[in-house]
Amino acid sequence: MLQGKKILIGITGSISAYKIPLLVRLLVKEGAEVSIIMTQMAREFVTPLTLSTLSGKPVYTDFFDKDDGSWHSHVDLGNWADVFLIAPVSATSLGKMVNGIADNLLIATYLAAKCPVYFAPAMDVDMFHHPSTQSNIQTLIKYGNHLIEPEVGELASGLTGAGRLQEPENILKVLSAHFEKKKALKGINVLITAGPTYESIDPVRFIGNHSSGKMGYAIAHAFAEAGAAVELISGPVNQPANHSNIHITAVVSAKEMEKAVDQKLDKAQIIIMAAAVADYTPEKSATKKIKKKGDDLTLKLFPTTDILKSIGEKKRKEQILVGFALETDDELQNAKKKLRTKNLDLIVLNSLKEKGAGFGFDTNKVTLIDRNGNEETFPLKSKNAVAADILDKIQSLRKDKNA
Ligand code: CTP
């Protein structure tokens, strides 16, 4: 399962660091490539020599090699890894991760890493339960990091409680499950729309909306990571989509989005319409810039095709269709009505009322309502974490469709 996987381990100062050499041995035995960064404090608990011998690679602590002056690039290490595990992570390092205090190579690498990050706290029970530690853990989860909860048991302090680093075998299981998940959607074609549409008024003006495309791109990334082939039809946005499983078709108007969706629809088993498609468009764009005159200007707008609704009318039985709803009033009722009238399997209700949710933010708060009437409201999370929740929900809907 871990053959050829690149795992970066960050070790911070905690007595439980003694478990990491055992973990490195297990990972290497499974065929993984392991690189290690340790903080200065971690070196007091476990030696770099032990770790470099077991991993077969140099162990990094400093930004520079003091002997030959070469630079250990935190960006390169972060880009190299398929997954970054920070274990054990002390209370101090949790605080640094939350606040972006990059005063050592480990935290700098964490801030630069694009791969999924798992963190396994280990500390004394009272430190673990302190509100600041708990709030730091919740913030890191909100940023899209994955918590490996400490075990309850006897601690180095002599006290008993939560705070023990998970055993190496359990950490190995978490990492194996991570890569297992990555293959879960191999062979599945997913069609996703994202971003706004721009409806042209004349050569210089358009009607648009505030959609940043972040949510749709996060979903595309989550499905690509799970092994699916993703067709992403994107309105004008400023988002990167660096994944070999994502193919982007760039469109501008609702009409172009409709056409692109039509072309890709047949092949898709899962269709997710996250785009904020304009409901109205000028009948035709003026060929020349409309000049300012003294009088009022009236624009006559015509309805666009409701792409989601038209897919709902013709979708095949095995296709899963997911829509989004952005409501300001009677949120739940309106979302449920959309689910029914557009013949959806799932609707994602976005809240605009919540601080930190909606257009342009990196976080979102959603309620998922499925065709069976199940309803689940999630806390405010990073858009990546919301995308993971949507993916999990779609997976369970697929299972009961095939059952
Ligand atoms: N949608 C679409 N085509 C349109 C308009 C919307 O495919 N022309 C899709 C969006 O991608 C989203 C869902 O429909 O998944 C909901 O869009 P929303 O604007 O909230 O709902 P409407 O059906 O347009 O209803 P209203 O604007 O009245 O709330």
Cα of 301 from ligand 1 centre, angstroms = 16
| Ligand 1, CB cutoff 6 Å, lining residues | 193, 254, 273, 275, 277, 279, 304, 306-308, 323-326, 338
Cα of 172 from ligand 1 centre, angstroms = 44
| Beta strands at 381-382 and 375-377: parallel, antiparallel or unpaired | unpaired
Residue 275 CA, closest ligand 1 atom number: 11
**Which has the higher per-residue pLDDT, 155 or 235?**
235
Q: What pLDDT is recorded for position 359?
A: 72
pTM of the model: 0.74
| Encoded tokens for 42 | 């971690």
* One fold for 6-181 and 189-285+293-402: yes
Q: Which residues contact 301 (CB under 8 A, 6 or more apart)?
A: 207, 280, 281, 282, 283
Strand partners, 348: 324, 368
Q: How far apart are CA 28 and CA 82, in angstroms?
A: 15
Confidence class for position 27, pLDDT limits 50, 70, 90: very high
Write down the mean pLDDT value for the chain. Answer: 93
Residue 309 CA, closest ligand 1 atom number: 7
- Indicate whether 69 pLDDT > 80: no
SS (HEC) of the chain: CCCCCEEEEEECCCHHHHHHHHHHHHHHHCCCEEEEEECCHHHHCCCHHHHHHHHCCCEECCCECCCCCCECCHHHHHHHCCEEEEEEECHHHHHHHHHCCCCCHHHHHHHHCCCCEEEEECCCHHHHHCHHHHHHHHHHHHCCCEECCCEEEECCCCCEEEEECCCHHHHHHHHHHHHHHCCCCCCCEEEEEECECCEEEECCEEECCCCCCHHHHHHHHHHHHCCCEEEEEECCCCCCCCCCCEEEEECCCHHHHHHHHHHHHCCCCEEEECCECCCEEECCCCCCCCCCCCCCCCCCEEECCCHHHHHHHHCCCCCEEEEEEEECCCHHHHHHHHHHHCCCCEEEEEECCCCCCCCCCCEECEEEEECCCCEEECCCEEHHHHHHHHHHHHHHHHHHHHC
Confidence class for position 28, pLDDT limits 50, 70, 90: very high
Share above pLDDT 70 across residues of the chain, in percent, rounded to a whole number: 99
- Indicate whether 111 pLDDT > 70: yes
Which of the residues are catalytic? 209
Distance of CA 217 to the CA centre of its chain: 9
Taking the domains of the chain in order of start, what are their residue ranges? Answer: 6-181, 189-285+293-402
Architecture of the domain delimited by 6-181: 3-Layer(aba) Sandwich (3.40)
Query: Tokens 């602590």 sit at which residue?
Result: 61
Cα of 305 from ligand 1 centre, angstroms = 10
Q: What do you get for the CA distance between the two ends of the chain, in Å?
A: 27
Q: How far apart are CA 10 and CA 27, in angstroms?
A: 14
Architecture of the domain delimited by 189-285+293-402: 3-Layer(aba) Sandwich (3.40)
Cα of 275 from ligand 1 centre, angstroms = 8
Q: Which of 324, 332, 334 to mutate to test the pocket of ligand 1 (most atoms within 8 A of CB)?
A: 324
Confidence class for position 251, pLDDT limits 50, 70, 90: very high
| Encoded tokens for 331 | 């949120």
- Indicate whether 154 pLDDT > 80: yes
Q: Around 241, how many Cα atoms within 13 Å sit in the side-chain half-sphere?
A: 29
- Indicate whether 403 pLDDT > 70: no
